[in-house]
């Protein structure tokens, strides 16, 4: 499956620029799998929350002088 290979490649590119490849993920499911979709969304959101702000976001904030308390 080419999409899977491309996601693997994209993950590699992300880690080259210092971004945790776990921030990108591919899941396989069909339109009928409603509950599964909800589960994945929750899981992934939780994963990202645990990983914290992306280094890009932090860098952009730093550059634009925004204080940490103002970050959403």
Partner 1 sequence: MIVGKQKPFEEIWDMIKNFKKVLVFGCNTCVAICHAGGGKEAEILASMLRMKAYQEGVEMEVKHAAIERHCEPEFFDPVMEDVKTNDVVLSTACGVGVNFLAERIGDIPVFPGINTQFFGAVPKAGVFVELCAGCGNCVLHLTGGICPVARCAKSLMNGPCGGTNNGKCEISQDVDCAWYLILERMTKLGTLEKLSEIKPPRDWSTGIYGGPRRIVLEHIADVEAQEEKKES
The footprint of partner 1 (CB under 8 A) covers: 13, 16-19, 55-56, 59-60, 62-63
> Which structure tokens are listed for 47?
């994963």
Least separation in angstroms between CB 69 and partner 1: 21
Question: What's the gap between Cα 60 and its chain centre?
Answer: 17
User: Smallest gap, in angstroms, from Cβ of residue 16 to partner 1?
Assistant: 5
Q: How far is the CB of 40 from partner 1 (least distance, A)?
A: 26
**20-45: burial string, b at 16+ Cβ within 10 Å, e else:** eeeeeeeeeeeeeeeeeeeeeeeeee
Distance, CA of 28 to CA of 42 (rounded, Å) = 16
- Closer of 16 and 28 to partner 1 (Cβ): 16
Q: Which is nearer to partner 1, 40 or 54 (CB)?
A: 54
């Amino acid at each position: 499956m080419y999409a899977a290979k491309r996601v693997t490649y994209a993950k590699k590119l992300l880690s080259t620029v210092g971004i945790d490849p776990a921030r990108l993920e591919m899941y396989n499911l069909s339109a009928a799998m409603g509950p599964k979709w909800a589960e994945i969304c929750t899981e992934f959101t939780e994963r990202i929350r645990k990983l914290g702000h992306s280094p890009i976001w932090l860098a952009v904030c730093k550059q634009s002088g925004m204080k940490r308390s103002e970050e959403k």
